[in-house]
Amino acid sequence: MRFRHRAAAGFATLLLPLAGLVGLAAAPAQAASTATATFTKTSDWGTGFGGQWTVKNTGSAAISSWTVEWDFPSDTKVTSAWDATVTNSGNHWTAKNAGWNGTIAPGASVSFGFNGSGPGSPSNCALNGGSCDGGPSVPGDNPPSAPGTPTASSITDTSVKLSWGAATDDKGVKNYDVLRDGKKVATVTTTSYSDTGLTAGTDYSYTVQARDTADQTGPVSGSVAVHTTGGGTNPPPTGDKVRLGYFTEWGIYGRNYNVKNLVTSGSASKITHINYAFGNVTGGKCAIGDSYADYDKAFTADQSVSGVADTWDQPLRGNFNQLRELKAKYPNIKVLWSFGGWTWSGGFGDAAKNPAAFAQSCYDLVHDPRWADVFDGIDIDWEYPNACGLSCDTSGAAAFRDVMAALRAKFGSSALVSAAVTADGSAGGKIEAADYAGAAQYLNWYNVMTYDFFGAWDAKGPTAPHSPLTSYSGIPKDGFTTADAIAKYKAIGVPANKLLIGIGFYGRGWTGVTQDAPGGTATGPAAGTYEQGIEDYKVLKGSCPVTGTIAGTAYAHCGSNWWSYDTPATIASKMSWVKSQGLGGAFFWEFSGDTSNGELVSAINSGLG
């Protein structure tokens, strides 16, 4: 999708399998029983990373000073640090508290951070002379095993009883954390718990995690789904058409659009699928896009789907946990993890060199046990196979088909596998550059990107609607319409029910325009909130109201600006066309461009009903 630019990512967090132990300055030999320290990787940019040590006083007396020590491989170094004095002797690194943060009260904690270069992780950690004893992997003290998958009984409108098999530990299990929809709701010393205060007719997911006598937590158990009795349910959309929306990982930053907004807008009850955008494609593998947004950002109670704030020690936070909570409320929704996009499509060339290895990497990432229950499949957004987008790909016409075949083989027949594909229906255009017909057999559907046909990258115009349904007299380029793209895919043998058309929840515009009708000249892109030449529908609806329609979409001339965008009325006509063509449904880019009451999503849903 032409305008998919990533906002500056926040800090990312990846818990590493090690921790350091800290103790009283006057009694380092007692460190194991009085304090802990854990290392967290807060960000990773390939050639370097951010790190953080957190020291927690688990004893009953204050700690007056602390010194953390660890080893790095020879290719990894600290380049800068804050809130501690960090020095090294060769590969051995030492961090001492600053003058103001040496004292730690019982139950309190302090942290210091650093930036590092290289790929390594710390090892052989110690603090105040004590041996490591505070994280998920402790020399001489293994973390507990995963408890048995909980079973549910005595389910009522507002409560459920949970029971599970005991975990094991070499030094003893102290207690269990009970997690509802990924968030801790109780800590108990027995292997059962009754959860109360639930909502009638609601879906919940429960897991359990054991904690040993050193306060180490083991892996999370399998999950059990619970549906409380009584109440009502959120009916899924009617009909058999796909209603899919893109949720962007970076939307939680400047746009302040969270998964919860799908609920408050009413959109969650009117969609069938979500594409979470984007995972990266690099080194021939699927990779995390923004780890902070994906699985670490702590959402407050008012930002959270469940209405419960994230805690520092829950196994999964971020958008992934919010999607998990959304699926608990709306179990009909399926979520696909989309990889690539405009910015990250350059990595598909390497992926195409070994499709099986690429598919394995994607499968392993999507099925990571921390979030395996969140995703129902994978979406590939390669812009464009054997053609040019942000960069030019020369993988050959068969590469796209081969990658899709490998993904289907690895993910299996029950998973959803889809792809966002070009809508260039011109003679000799991008549809002809790759074997989309051969690949279709491996996919559930194609998201045909029937928008961004025209825009202010042609700074002087002519003005033209960016998402025309059909051709019209004076269109700047033949074949750049929804109807032309769909006709071409059908002609090469792609089944109609595997084709979804795309709706942009935004407009594209020019400035310096005097002509109301399409085809006018311009002086450049119109100003936009986040990027020149593009603006959300929710803004344009009031700032530059529609003055006309052409080729099944709307345009607006206000002052010297000229915009084109879809409205509920034009979406209704496009959805009628989808049904007349026997297509599989529609998708849109992306949720945050809609109004706060989700009027464009409503138009898609009712139009396909």
> Band of the pLDDT at 20, cuts 50, 70, 90?
very low
Q: Are 134 and 36 in contact (CB under 8 A)?
A: yes
Q: Is the confidence at residue 17, as pLDDT, over 50?
A: no
**Closest by Cα among 346, 355, 356, 353 to 384:** 346
112-127 average pLDDT score: 83
Cis bond leading into 565, ω under 30°? Answer: no
d(CA 125, CA 560): 64
Q: Is the confidence at residue 119, as pLDDT, over 90?
A: no
Residues of the chain with CATH 2.60.40.10: 151-227
DSSP 392: B
Q: Note the pLDDT of residue 33.
A: 41
d(CA 223, CA 342): 36
Q: Is domain 14-131 annotated with CATH 3.40.50.300?
A: no
CB under 8 Å to 394, separation ≥6 — which residues?
A: 349, 386
275-289 average pLDDT score: 97
**Residues 181-227 pLDDT 10s:** 878 899 999 999 999 988 887 878 888 999 888 777 888 888 888 88
Determine the residue type at 435.
Answer: D
Q: Is the confidence at residue 259, as pLDDT, over 80?
A: yes
DSSP 8: P
Q: Is the confidence at residue 135, as pLDDT, over 60?
A: no
**Closest by Cα among 531, 596, 542, 598 to 565:** 542
Taking residue 392's Cβ as centre, other Cβ atoms within 10 Å add up to 11
Q: Note the pLDDT of residue 131.
A: 55
Q: Are 606 and 593 in contact (CB under 8 A)?
A: no
SS3 state of residue 546: coil
CB under 8 Å to 43, separation ≥6 — which residues?
A: 9, 11, 12, 49, 50, 291, 292
Q: Which CATH number fits domain 151-227: 3.40.630.30, 3.40.50.720, 3.40.640.10, 2.60.40.10?
A: 2.60.40.10
Strand partners, 589: 504
User: Sign of the CA dihedral 388, 390, 394, 395?
Assistant: negative
Please classify residue 166 by burial: count the beta carbons closer than 10 Å to its beta carbon, then call 0-12 exposed, 13-18 middle and 19+ buried.
middle
> Band of the pLDDT at 238, cuts 50, 70, 90?
low
**Residues 54-73 pLDDT 10s:** 888 777 788 888 898 888 88
**Closest by Cα among 271, 316, 261, 325 to 294:** 316
540-557 average pLDDT score: 97
d(CA 90, CA 369): 37
Q: Is the confidence at residue 18, as pLDDT, over 90?
A: no
DSSP 70: E
**Closest by Cα among 6, 92, 112, 96 to 50:** 112
272-284 average pLDDT score: 97
d(CA 38, CA 20): 6
d(CA 608, CA 319): 28
Structure tokens at 110: 């302090």
Q: Are 133 and 68 in contact (CB under 8 A)?
A: no
Does the active-site annotation cover 531?
Answer: no
d(CA 255, CA 273): 22
Q: Are 211 and 238 in contact (CB under 8 A)?
A: no
SS3 state of residue 400: helix
DSSP 533: T
CB under 8 Å to 124, separation ≥6 — which residues?
A: 69, 70, 71, 132
d(CA 64, CA 48): 33
Q: Is the confidence at residue 507, as pLDDT, over 60?
A: yes
Residues of the chain with CATH 2.60.40.290: 14-131
Entry pTM: 0.68
**Closest by Cα among 453, 310, 298, 449 to 382:** 449
**Closest by Cα among 316, 198, 327, 205 to 263:** 327
Determine the residue type at 508.
Answer: R
Q: Average model confidence (pLDDT) for the chain?
A: 88
Choose the catalytic residue: 383, 432, 535, 590: 383
| SS3 of 132-181 | CCCCCCECCECCCCCCCCCEEECCCCCCEEEECCCCCCCCCEEEEEEEEC
Q: Is the confidence at residue 462, as pLDDT, over 80?
A: yes
Q: How many helices (H) and strands (E) does the chain have?
A: 13, 33
* 242-504+567-608: CATH number: 3.20.20.80
d(CA 292, CA 7): 13
**Closest by Cα among 466, 492, 491 to 480:** 466
Q: Note the pLDDT of residue 42.
A: 79
Q: Is the confidence at residue 429, as pLDDT, over 70?
A: yes
Q: Is the confidence at residue 13, as pLDDT, over 60?
A: no
Least confident segment among 18-27, 43-52, 524-533: 18-27
Give whole-number Cα distances, 379 to 184, 311, 418, 574, in Å.
31, 31, 5, 24
Write down the residue that tokens 């515009």 correspond to. Answer: 509
Structure tokens at 31: 């460190």
> Band of the pLDDT at 366, cuts 50, 70, 90?
very high
d(CA 359, CA 349): 14
